[in-house]
C-alpha cells in the first residue's frame, strides 16, 4: 500500500471511530458545475434576506481560495436522527437537528480531534475545519466526495442513511485518494415537492429558500410579511417536512450522541408551555441549543404566528 492510500484509510477509519457515519474525499478546487446554478439562484433572489450568501462568491466555489494551497476536501456526515420524535400531540414542532445541544460545538470538537490525529500520524498538515459556518457549498462537496446525491428537495441523500445528518469538512494541503460521485436515486418520486406547504420546492432539484418554513422561522429576522397566509403546520423552528416524506429516510437510524438528546424540559412541552414561555425560561432551557439563533423574540414571533393558524 502506498502512503496516499494508507493516509486515506487512516483518515476514514479515524472518522468512523469519532462517530461520523460517512467520510468521502475529493480534490480541492473550483466547482465548475455549480457556478451557473448558484449565480441564477442569487439572481432570482431565492436566498431572500440572507445577504451573507452573496458575499465571498469566489470562496464558495473554490476551496483553494478558502484554504490556500489546499489539495483535498474531506467531507463527513454526522447523524442527528433522534431515537424518538418529540410528542406532536397538542404541541408545536421544531426540526430534529435542534432537539439537543448546538451541533456546531459537538462536531467542531470532533473535527479538531481528527485533524490532530492526522497531524500526529502524517506530519505537519496545513488545514482547517468547517461546520456550517464558512462560505463553502457543503452539499456540493459531499456529493463530489461520493457521500450521496442532491435530491429533489435539494438535500444531500444517502442510500444507506437517508438525509438526517450534518455535513462537515476538513480542507487540507495533502493529496489523498479521491472518491467517485454516486448516481441519483430519486427516480420519478415527487413526495417532497407534493408535501411542501409553501411551494418552496417549485421544481425538482430547485428551491426558493425565501418561501421555506425554515427560512421564515430561523433566517428571517424581521416580522413576517403581511401577505403571508401560509399554514406552517405548527413548525416554529425549522421544518422537516420534505425529509420526513422522503422514502430514503426509512433507512434513518437513531444517533447515539448523548449531547443531541432533547433537553428534559422540552420532552414534555405542550403548545401552552411554548406560548407561556418567558425570556428567563428560554435562556435556561435553550442556553446551548440551536434555538438560540432565533433568539427569544424570534421564537415568540414564530409561536404567535403558528398559534393564529390553529
Residue-wise pLDDT for 202-232, tens only, equals: 999 999 999 999 999 999 999 998 888 888 9
**Mean pLDDT calculated for residue range 131-142:** 92
Pairing mode of beta strands 149-150, 165-172 = unpaired
pLDDT in tens, 177-188: 999 999 999 999
Instruction: Assess whether 70 and 128 both reside in one domain.
Output: yes
Task: Specify if 207 maps to a domain.
Answer: yes
Task: Specify if 180 maps to a domain.
Answer: no
Instruction: Assess whether 54 and 167 both reside in one domain.
Output: yes
Q: Name the residue among 35, 120, 92, 162 with its Cα closest to residue 304.
A: 92
Instruction: Assess whether 165 and 197 both reside in one domain.
Output: no
Regarding pTM above 0.75, the answer is yes
Q: Name the average pLDDT for the chain.
A: 95
Provide the terminal-to-terminal Cα distance of the chain, rounded to the nearest Å. Answer: 63
Task: Specify if 178 maps to a domain.
Answer: no
Find out whether 204 and 152 touch, Cβ atoms under 8 Å: yes
pLDDT in tens, 224-265: 988 888 889 999 999 999 999 999 999 999 999 999 999 888
Q: Name the residue among 236, 255, 243, 242 with its Cα closest to residue 293.
A: 236
Phi/psi of residue 169, nearest 5 degrees = -140, 150
pLDDT of the residue at 309: 63
- Catalytic residues, by residue number, are 132
Instruction: Assess whether 215 and 272 both reside in one domain.
Output: yes
Please check the confidence at residue 310 and state whether its pLDDT lies above 90. Answer: no
Instruction: Assess whether 165 and 286 both reside in one domain.
Output: no
Per the structure, how many domains does the chain have? 2
- Domain span at residue 71 reads 3-85+96-172
Find out whether 70 and 171 touch, Cβ atoms under 8 Å: yes
Residue 159 has which C-alpha cell? 442510500
Boundary of a domain, candidates 141, 172, 203: 172
Angle between helices 103-122 and 3-17 (to 10 degrees): 150
Instruction: Assess whether 156 and 8 both reside in one domain.
Output: yes
Amino acid at each position: 500500500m502506498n502512503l496516499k492510500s494508507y493516509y486515506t484509510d487512516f483518515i476514514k477509519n479515524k472518522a468512523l471511530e469519532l462517530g461520523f457515519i460517512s467520510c468521502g474525499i475529493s480534490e480541492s478546487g473550483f466547482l465548475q458545475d455549480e457556478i451557473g446554478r448558484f449565480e441564477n439562484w442569487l439572481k432570482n433572489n431565492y436566498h431572500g434576506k440572507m445577504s451573507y450568501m452573496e458575499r465571498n462568491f469566489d470562496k464558495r466555489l473554490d476551496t483553494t481560495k478558502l484554504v490556500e494551497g489546499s489539495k483535498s476536501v474531506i467531507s463527513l456526515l454526522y447523524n442527528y436522527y433522534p431515537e424518538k420524535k418529540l410528542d406532536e400531540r397538542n404541541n408545536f414542532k421544531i426540526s430534529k437537528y435542534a432537539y439537543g445541544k448546538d451541533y456546531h460545538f459537538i462536531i467542531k470538537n470532533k473535527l479538531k480531534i481528527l485533524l490532530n490525529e492526522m497531524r500526529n500520524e502524517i506530519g505537519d498538515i496545513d488545514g482547517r475545519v468547517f461546520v456550517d459556518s464558512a462560505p463553502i457549498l457543503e452539499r456540493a462537496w459531499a456529493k463530489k466526495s461520493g457521500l450521496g446525491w442532491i435530491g429533489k428537495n435539494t438535500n444531500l441523500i444517502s442510500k444507506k442513511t437517508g438525509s438526517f445528518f450534518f455535513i462537515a469538512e476538513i480542507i487540507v494541503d495533502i493529496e489523498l485518494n479521491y472518491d467517485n460521485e454516486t448516481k441519483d436515486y430519486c427516480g420519478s418520486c415527487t413526495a417532497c415537492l407534493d408535501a411542501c406547504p409553501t411551494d418552496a420546492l417549485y421544481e425538482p432539484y430547485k428551491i426558493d429558500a425565501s418561501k421555506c418554513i425554515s427560512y421564515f422561522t430561523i433566517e428571517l429576522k424581521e416580522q413576517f410579511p403581511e401577505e403571508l397566509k401560509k399554514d406552517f403546520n405548527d413548525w416554529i423552528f425549522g421544518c422537516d417536512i420534505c425529509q420526513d416524506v422522503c422514502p430514503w429516510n426509512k433507512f434513518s437510524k437513531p444517533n447515539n450522541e448523548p449531547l443531541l438528546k432533547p433537553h428534559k424540559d422540552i420532552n414534555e412541552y405542550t403548545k401552552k408551555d411554548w406560548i407561556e414561555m418567558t425570556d428567563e425560561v428560554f435562556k435556561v432551557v435553550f442556553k446551548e441549543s440551536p434555538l438560540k439563533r432565533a433568539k427569544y423574540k424570534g421564537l415568540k414571533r414564530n409561536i404567535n404566528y403558528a398559534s393564529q393558524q390553529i
